[in-house]
Amino acid sequence: MTDHRPSDGPPRRPRRRRGGGGAPSRPHHAPRPVSPHSTRTSAPFDPAPVSFGSLIADVDLRDALEQRGFVETTPIQSAVLPYALQGKDVIGCAETGTGKTAAYVLPILARLLREDKAAGPKAAHHATRALILAPTRELATQIDDEIQGFSYHAPIASAAVYGGVPMEPQERSLKAGVDIVVATPGRLLDHMRSSVGDFTKVEIFVLDEADRMMDMGFWPDVRRIAEAMPPVNARQTMLFSATMPDEVMRFADALAPDAVFVQVGSRRGPAENITHEARVLSGREKVSFLAKYLRRTVGPTIVFVNTKIGADRLARQLYSMGLHAAPIHADRSQKDRTAAIEAFRAGRTKVLVATDVAARGLDIDDVALIVNFEVPRGLDTYVHRVGRTGRYDAKGHALTLADPSERRDLEQIEKAFGLKLLE
């Protein structure tokens, strides 16, 4: 549980950007997939930047924004905040690295702070009021860090709940009725099966990286968690992602049938400030080519592979060639994953070799290059991988190394996104 108390000021991160026993069963609350085809169109919005001070009324929250260097909104924040601050359900789709996290964290904090002040100093809460689901431990931790930074001077408590670490500290936070829970579905369901945590008073429900969360493999978990909360018409629901294909929109319609849909930029494509190239090489040529390419690259690089074994093997090979590389994947302990990410942020490690666990929501500034060591399995995976570079209007570059047998997969990426990968 994180209790925010004033001391020297909220933690800052350098930013170039403007804003940068079983769960309770309630079958009548459970969302169900609706029509087989979604026809939502984006609601009207003005993407022009506006001052956060003109949107946020709470003084403590405005002070935190100012101290963290948040002056004006990004386009997705300009589009979403006017709706979300009114308590409306929102589905937000925008390119990676555009500030989606603040677009839902700020409305959550503004609402909870407003309610606390209206209730008076003797108000006490013993149940969670906001629940945010994320697909990975890293993203859950990152979201909780953002909440802490924005609510540093406010009496709001948050907790990150995810696997790979002991359950007892999380259990204490959930039993205490922490205001905001940021969780991965699997670990949260573990607690709920033990009747730990009260989600019957949740006012705001958020799914980050909603496309992956509502993939058919995640949907049963999301649905069981939703059954433990008030019904759709008694809570605010917000969903955010960089891609929102039609099959995912059907599930979004089930969770938030009356939501305002806001789409900023392409619904499926990568950001326009990322350049793309591809090379067709045999498997035995890839490692030596990559090592030479990386030596000519200035700045940190993330290399994506399709398997955990492949991540470990490639990291060892690059390290043996004199490149500071570290692997990150789901089989590594949380301690090791955190250490690898922090070494990469600090510049001690130049190359992070990752499976797709790192492709969703991981926010690391100044990543110069993304490498797909194999062609990604799916168009949306390509978008999320390359979205780790070119964040907040910075320039980025993506390189894909393909086996000759994967040329057709490259052509599908080119066709889908209007790219020219091969010269």
Q: How are beta strands 301-304 and 351-354 bridged, if at all?
A: parallel
How much is the pLDDT for 350? 93
How much is the pLDDT for 174? 95
Cα-Cα end-to-end distance for the chain: 53
Point out which residues pair with 240 in neighbouring strands: 92, 208
Region of poorest pLDDT, from 93-97, 110-114, 169-173, 281-285: 93-97
Q: How are beta strands 369-372 and 396-402 bridged, if at all?
A: parallel
How much is the pLDDT for 115? 92
* Pair 78, 47: CB distance under 8 Å: yes
Identify how many contiguous H helices and E strands the chain contains and give both numbers.
14, 14
Whether the per-residue pLDDT at 308 is higher than 50: the answer is yes
Break the chain into its structural domains and give their ranges. 2-264, 274-417
Give the mean model confidence (pLDDT) for residues 331-345: 87
Give the mean model confidence (pLDDT) for residues 361-369: 78
In whole angstroms, give the CA distance from residue 264 to residue 29.
Answer: 31
Residue pLDDT, tens place only, 59-69: 999 999 999 99
Topology match between the domains 2-264 and 274-417: yes
Residue pLDDT, tens place only, 172-207: 999 999 999 999 999 999 999 999 999 999 999 999
Helices 100-119, 75-84: crossing angle, 10 deg rounding:
30
Q: How are beta strands 180-183 and 157-161 bridged, if at all?
A: parallel
In whole angstroms, give the CA distance from residue 174 to residue 192.
Answer: 10
In whole angstroms, give the CA distance from residue 374 to residue 154.
Answer: 46
How much is the pLDDT for 13? 40
Q: Which residues contact 413 (CB under 8 A, 6 or more apart)?
A: 375, 379, 382, 400, 419, 421
Q: Which CATH architecture has domain 274-417?
A: 3-Layer(aba) Sandwich (3.40)
In whole angstroms, give the CA distance from residue 208 to residue 227.
Answer: 18
Q: Which residues contact 269 (CB under 8 A, 6 or more apart)?
A: 383, 416, 417, 418
* Domain 2-264 class in CATH: alpha beta
pTM of the full predicted structure?
0.71
Residues listed for the chain: 423
